[in-house]
Structures are given as C-alpha cells and as structure tokens.
Amino acid sequence: MNRSGALAAVPPLTVALFAGPVAAGLLGTLLPAFGWHPGIGAADWSLDPWRELLAEPGLWRSVWLSLATGLGAALLAFAAAAGLSAWAQGTRWAGRLRLALAPLLAVPHAAFAVGVLFLAAPSGWIARLLSPWATGWERPPDFATVQDPHGLSLLLALAAKECFFLLLMMQAALAQVPAARQLRVAASLGYDRVTAWLLLVLPQLYRQMRLPVYAVIAFGCSVVDMAAVLGPAAPPTLAVLVLQMSQDPDLARRLPAAAGALLQGGVVLAAICLWRLGEIAVGRIARHLAARGGRRSLALPGRAAAWTGHAAILTTLAALVVLALWSLADRWRFPDALPERLGLQAWGAAAPALLPPFLTTLGLAAAVSLLALALVLGCLEREDRTGHAPSRRALDLLYLPLLVPQLSFLFGAQVLLERMGLAGGLLAVTWMHLLFVLPYAFLTLGDSWRALDRRFARTALCLGRSPASVFWRVKLPLLRRPILASLAVGFSVSVALYLPTLFAGAGRVTSLATEVVSLASGGDRRQLGLFGLLQALLPLAALLLAGWLGRPRFGGTR
Amino acid sequence: MSLDLRAVTLLLNGKPLVRDLSLSVKPGEVATLMGPSGSGKSTLLDLISGSLPPAFKATGSVTLDGADLLALPPERRRVGILFQDDLLFPHLTVGENLAFALPRAVRDRRAAVAAALAEAELAGFADRDPATLSGGQRARVSLMRALLAQPRALLLDEPFGKLDVALRARFRAFVFDHARRAGLPTLLVTHDPEDATAAAGPVVELSGS
C-alpha cells in the first residue's frame, strides 16, 4: 500500500474505532436488558430484568438523585461560567482567567472529589480551620456534610468541576461574536456591563454552548467516581447502583444491571428534555427583559453567578492544597488547623502500592494521547489533500461518547471486549480511553488546523516540496502549540478516566483513578491524599511540559 | 449643553499620540475629526465613550454640559455612538433592538418603537429579523436606537464608510438632521472630506506622530 493509500485509510479507521464500540456497546446493553446474554447462559427474551430492577429497594429515589444532582449541577455550573465570563469580559481578568482555565479543567474528577471530601467532611479542613474557636467543636460534628442523603454535596462539587469546561467552551464561542463592540453600544445606551453581557452576548453564544451543556448534563446524571466519593450511600445515585449490580459476584445480576444502564440513558434523555424546555422559557424571559429596558435588571443575579464561579476556583485550589497537606501529614489531629508534623513517611510507605498504578496511568495516558493525535492529524491531512471537509453530522458523531452516558455503552462494550478476548488487558483499556480522548483531541486541534493560512502550504508546494514534506516541515511546526495542547488535553482526559478503566480493565488493570476511588471508601487518609495528589499533578505536569515545549521560538518579537 | 475637550493628550505606551487637543462642540453642531489611520481619532472617541484600551493613557478633561465625563462609568455617560457596522443585535427583532434602547421609565414602549420606525421610514418593521433589512435600513435603525436612549451627545465613528455613494449622502443627511434637531453636540470621525463639508462644523486635523 502506498503512502497516500495508508492516509486514505485513516478516516474510516477512526470512525470504526469510534463508532464500533459505541454501537456494539449500546447493543450489548440493550440485549441483556431484555434477557439475552448467552455469555452467562441467559437466552430467553423476557422483561424479567426490568422486573428485578424495579423491585430494587430505593430505585426511584436513586433515579431522582441522579436527575436532580446532574441537572442541578449543570444549571449551577452554567450560571457560574456565564457569571465569570460576564464579569471578566473586557477587563484585564479575561486573559488571566483564560490562562488559568486549562490547569483548573485538568484536575481529575476523582482527585477533586477526594479534595472536596478532605475540605468539607465533618472532620475536614474547613471544620478544622473553624474549630474550636468559632464552632466550639473539640471533635468532628455528628452530621453529614458530605455524602448527605439529598446529594447536595455531590451537586455542588459537580457544579464546581464542570463550570470550567463550560467556561472554556464559552470563551471559545466568544471569539465568533463581536462582543466588545456590542457591549460598547450597550454601554452607550446606559446598560451595566454584566446585564448587557447576559442579555446580548450570552444568547448569541448559546447555540454553540448547547452540545457542551448537554454533555455536562449527561456526565452529571451518570457520573460514578465523584458520586462514589461524595454521593449518598443508601440509596446511591442510579449510576452507582447499576455499577454495584454489574459487579455483583452473582452473574445473573448483570441482566437487571443492563436494564439499569438503559434506564440511566433514559434519565439523561429526560434531563436533557427538561433543560430544553427550560431553554425555551428562559429565552422568552430574556427577550422580554431586553425589550423592557431595565439597565441593571441582571446586575445582581449576574454578580451572584460570578461569585459562584469564584467559589469554584477557590474550592479547586483548596482541594489541591488539602490533598498535598494530607499526603505530607505525619500527624494531624482534629481540630488542629494544620498537621502537627510534615514528613514523607506516607510517600515511602505507599511507594510499592503506588508505583504500578502510577506507571499504568502514565503509560496509558501517553499512549492514548499520541494515538489520538496521530488519528486526528491523519484525518485532517486527508481532508486537506482531498478537499473534502467532513460533514457537520460526522463531527457531531464525535460527541457521541460524551453525550451517551458512559455507563450505558461501557456495559455493553465490555461484552464486546470479552468476545474479542481483550477484556482485562491494556489494549482494551487503551481502546476505551481512545473513545473519550479523541473528541477532545479533535476539538483542540481541528479549529487551529483549519485556521492555518493555506498559502503557507501552497507556497511550499510551489517550491517543489512533496505533500508529505509540507506536512512534516511546514504544517506540523506551524501548529506546534495546538498539537502540544491537544496532547496535553488528551493526556489529562485519560488520567481522569475512571469508568472506562474499570470496565475495560475488568478489575485487572488498576490506574490512579480506580485506586483513588477504592481508597476513598475508607482507608488511610495520608495514602488517599497522596494518590489523589499524584492523579492531580500528572495532568498539570503535562500542561506545563506542553507550555514549555510550545514556548515561542523567537521570544519577545511579537 | 456642549461637549468640551480641554488640553487632551493621548499617550500610547507612554508616547504621545494626540497632543494638547482642545475642542468645544455646541448643541446641534457636528464637529469633524480627520487624520490618517493611527492618528488617534477613533481612540479619542474611545476616551469619550469610556472604553479606552489599556495600552492608552489620557490627560486633560472631557466635560459634557460642564460635568466631568471621564469620572463616570461608560453606562452612566449617556453618550450615544454609531460605528461603521450597524451592530444591531442579531438575536433580537428590529423592534426589540429599539425597545432595548428605550429608557425603563417609558410606559408605552410599543408606541415609542413604532414612532421611531415611522421616523426612519420603516413603519411595520418591528417584528422583522434585522438580517432581512438592507444596509441602509439597518443603518437607520441603528441611529434610531442610539437616539431612543436619549443621549446627551453623539459620537460617529466613520458610520458612513461602508455605504455606497448614493446611500451615503442620504444617510449622512438623515443623521445630521436628527442630531441637529435633538440638539446633540456631535463628534464625527471620518476619512472623507465631503463628510466634513456636509457637517459644516469645526474641523480638527490630527497629524499623528
């Protein structure tokens, strides 16, 4: 096969790697949910799995918890992102905020959840800082601040985590709107900046925000790692319940678990429909407010939303600090504000247990991000040479693994992997990670690639360079920064993945994400702090490295 | 009610761009700022409307009817502005764009919008999508929007630059006519000497540095 032939194979290969597991995964969830799972000797079509699922105590409570925490977190995260954007627009904070976004976004969910646990638990850092002088507590209070039965702590933590993703998407969409000049017009008409931003800029951005918001809803309603650490226990959210059922030693429980995974898909769909209805209502209200002419009508809510965003930033920073503190704490008694002694004992003691999952995580993330980059570059270069841009529909397909709840298709994908004899191996885990890394790699690189001035490549071709040479010598060097950014983002996504690792690894592949979640249910705080800290530091290190490698070649000339 | 610039100096990264400019624009008068690109004429409008980019520093005073303008945030200055682009908000109807500009205290908003549209020879256009209007129609809506907010001064940042020649003279007359009738001190930035002639007010040539 010649080289252009190999290149031609990249787009179909990407689609196959991508759509295959999603389709097979959904099918592999659908069939067992109706009683067909030959792998465990079930081959009768029936509704029994559903009956068994519905008989599960507390099922509807679990469904409600999933819906309420997912939808509530998305709403709060969206408000925080919009508030921060409105507040920062046109000020010197806008640039700083954009700079801080990547590291804030890169903190993995599991590590963040543990950080929040360390902050907000009855014996957490906040209680310690306030005790005993303000609270009078000499020992941790006896009420639930995290893992509360209503899922409030989960909702808040999810919102804090997800608002950075929405903020990133919002800032990217902002580039397409002449916001600065429109806001000048609004100011000349007497409008307060925050009110004008929310009434004028946000509605124009919103069309591009819709898919990211739906992804956040889907994620929030079905999140497992954060819910396992911060969510209620009896009953847990639906996703955690389904996971418990699917991991039951009694293999027959996999049938109702499959039904549960489908129900999870229904919950996400319902949540998105509810949001859509809310969109229509809010759109009407906003137009009404705009036409009524109140110059400061949204000044107060807008500023409250911005403060929510500030709280999310502060929480993330504090979560990282408290993870580091616990990993270094030799002794830290309640209600001391700081550890009595710091030391590296935990690091030494945990090293043997730490090294294998650390290396697995590192290797997986490196391999997956490189693989994703190669596929994305192959697709984009192929697009350049044939002149065919992929249709809008094909690009929407990329969002699929972000929109379909992970649980709903991973459950079935595991069946596929077992059939192929891959389950429990690193290859299977790499493949599943690729599903979640590819969309982000495409999102971070695609726009920069297409924005590159085509005349550079044309000039090089006219100088007698081959297309391959133009690719390696002109396009790649010009796109060094977005390429490095896409690698770093892919790396960060992979480090954070919990459920894909758990399912594809069949319990035999342990990564930092799976270790952090399993340690969080009890166990040593110092060790947990250390594992969480390392999980959080890996993406930050990748971002720093990418930033350093991507530094301008001719510093200070522009 | 006049717009007064006294001894205004604009510095770009510490270097003077506009030196010691003084200008008084009387109510209903249209003053013209001319000069090559980069001479700071648009930046002067930025200063007056309150959106001076951070790289610039300004000294001197700008007063409107004797009151210091520079001390106020942009949204409290009540200085209307028109740009080369009409900047009608694309997610609102023509009528909603106008209603957005009406002060909150105006009771019969529908009637006020209808009157403004009739004034711009666009009666019945309230429910239209701005994108369906012609360039000249959009420009007129944009002016009506600025006027409905009841400004105390008007800034024109090359608002005729994108219109074709025939339309240009008509829209120019429309703008100047409204500004004079509303008694607004008006400051026009332009490249076109014909604009300055039509404005028939004081002309300031900025040289750049």
Same domain, A78 and A197: yes
A188 touches chain B (CB under 8 A): yes
ipTM comes to: 0.81
CB A375 within 8 A of CB A234: no
Angle formed by the axes of helices A299-328 and A93-106, to 10°? 50
Tell me if A187 and B75 make a contact (CB, 8 A cut-off): yes
Other Cβ atoms within 10 Å of B82 Cβ, number: 25
- Residue A335: asked if its preceding bond is cis (omega within 30°), the reply is yes
Phi-psi category of B123—alpha, beta or left, where left has phi over 0 and alpha has psi -120 to 50?
A: beta
pLDDT greater than 70 at residue B28: yes
Return the C-alpha torsion angle A304, A117, A507, A105, nearest 10.
30
Number of domains, chain A: 2
- Residues of chain B positioned with their CB less than 8 A from the CB of A181: 83, 85, 87
Could A182 and B78 be called an inter-chain contact, meaning their C-beta atoms sit closer than 8 Å? no
Task: Answer yes or no: is A308 within a domain.
Answer: yes
Q: What residues in A contact B54, CB-CB < 8 Å? A: 92
* Shortest Cα distance, chain B CAs vs residue A179, angstroms: 10
Inter-chain CB proximity A189 and B54 less than 8 Å: no
Cβ contacts of B104 on chain A, cutoff 8 Å: 292-295
* Number of CB pairs, chain A paired with chain B, less than 8 A apart: 86
In a domain? residue A111: yes
Do A178 and B85 count as a contact with CB atoms less than 8 A apart? yes
Does a structural domain hold residue A48? no
The Cα of A171 is separated from the nearest Cα of chain B by a number of Å equal to 19
User: What gap in Å lies between CA A231 and CA A150, rounded to an integer?
Assistant: 8
Yes or no, beta carbons of A200 and B89 under 8 Å apart: yes
Contact criterion met (CB below 8 Å) for A147 and A153: yes
In this structure, the answer to whether residues A240 and A298 fall within a common structural domain is: yes
Q: Do A189 and B106 touch (CB under 8 A)?
A: no
Q: Are residues A266 and A365 in the same domain?
A: no
User: Is A392 in the same domain as A332?
Assistant: no
A188 with B74: Cβ contact below 8 A: yes
Nearest to B99 among A181, A182, A291 (CB): A291
Q: Are residues B50 and A187, on separate chains, in Cβ contact within 8 Å?
A: yes
Q: What is the mean pLDDT of chain B?
A: 92
Do A402 and A287 reside in the same domain of the chain? no
Paired sense of beta strands B56-64 and B3-12, if any: antiparallel
Q: Which residues does chain A have within 8 Å of residue B95's beta carbon, measured at their own beta carbons?
A: 291
pLDDT at A556: 47
Do A306 and A397 sit in the same domain of this protein? no
The answer to whether residues A401 and A336 belong to one domain is: no
Q: Are residues A25 and A86 in the same domain?
A: no
- Per-residue pLDDT of chain A (558 residues), as tens digits, is 445 577 888 888 888 888 788 888 888 888 888 988 777 777 788 888 999 999 988 999 999 999 999 999 999 999 999 999 999 998 889 889 988 998 999 999 999 999 999 999 988 999 899 888 888 888 888 888 888 899 999 999 999 999 999 999 999 899 888 999 999 999 999 999 999 999 999 999 999 899 899 999 999 999 999 999 999 988 999 999 999 998 888 888 889 999 999 999 999 999 999 999 999 999 999 999 999 988 998 999 999 999 999 999 999 999 999 999 999 988 888 888 888 888 888 788 888 888 999 999 999 999 999 999 999 999 889 888 877 766 666 766 777 788 888 888 888 888 788 888 888 889 999 999 999 999 889 888 988 888 888 888 888 888 778 888 889 888 999 899 999 999 999 999 999 999 999 989 988 899 999 999 999 987 788 899 999 999 999 999 999 999 999 887 675 443
Q: Which domain does A376 fall in, by range?
A: 1-29+351-558
CB atoms within 10 A of CB A273: 10
Predicted local distance difference test score (pLDDT) of residue B209: 54
Of the residues A322, A343, A364, which one is the last residue of a structural domain? A343
Q: Is B78:B150 a contact under the CB 8 Å cutoff?
A: yes
Among A370-374, B11-15, B114-118, the minimum mean pLDDT is found in B11-15
Q: Which residue of B has its CA nearest to A206?
A: B91
Of A184, A203, A292, the CB nearest to B49: A184
The verdict on A475 and A339 lying in the same domain is: no
Residue A269 to residue A353: CA distance in whole angstroms: 40
Mutate to test the interface with A, among B43, B82, B89 (most CBs of A within 10 A): B89
Contacts of A188 in chain B (CB under 8 A): 49, 74, 77, 79-81, 146, 149, 151, 155
Residues in chain A, how many?
Answer: 558
Domain boundary among A343, A364, A395: A343
Residue-level pLDDT at A1: 40
Distance (Å, whole) CA A19 – CA A404:
12
Domain check: are A220 and A109 in the same one? yes
* Cβ-defined contact of B75 to A204 (cutoff 8 Å): no
Q: Minimal CA–CA distance to A433: which of A331, A516, A378, A505? A: A505
Compare all CA atoms of chain B with the CA of A185 and give the residue at the minimum distance: B81
Position A51 in a domain: no
Separation of alpha carbons B17 and B23, rounded Å = 16
Contacts of B21 (CB under 8 A, 6+ apart): B5, B7, B8, B9, B44, B60, B204, B206
- CB B81 to CB A188 under 8 A? yes
Q: Is there a contact between B74 and A184 if contact means CB atoms under 8 Å apart?
A: yes
Q: List, in order, residues 6 or more apart from A452 with CB less than 8 Å away.
A: A475, A478, A479
Q: Examine the domain organization and report whether A186 and A253 are in the same domain.
A: yes
Whether residue A420 lies inside any domain: the answer is: yes
Which residue in B has a C-alpha nearest to residue A186's C-alpha?
A: B75
In CATH, the number for domain B3-78+151-205 is 3.40.50.300
Q: Which of A288, A315, A343 is the last residue of a domain?
A: A343
Candidates B43, B79, B100, partner chain A, best to mutate (most A CBs within 10 A): B100
Whether the per-residue pLDDT at B121 is higher than 80: the answer is yes
How many angstroms separate the CA of residue A252 from the nearest CA in chain B?
Answer: 54
Nearest CB partner across the interface for A185, out of B76, B81, B96:
B81
| Residue B143: both structure tokens together | 């002016």
Q: What is the pLDDT, as a whole number, of residue B108? A: 93
Q: Are residues A339 and A355 in the same domain?
A: no
* CA A25 – CA A32 distance, rounded (Å): 11
CATH classification at residue A472: 1.10.3720.10
Which one of A92, A192, A290 has the shortest CB-CB distance to B75? Answer: A192
Say which of A181, A185, A290 has its CB closest to residue B92: A290
* In a domain? residue A106: yes
Cα–Cα dist B71/B59, whole Å: 12
Q: Quick check: A292 and B79 CB within 8 A?
A: no
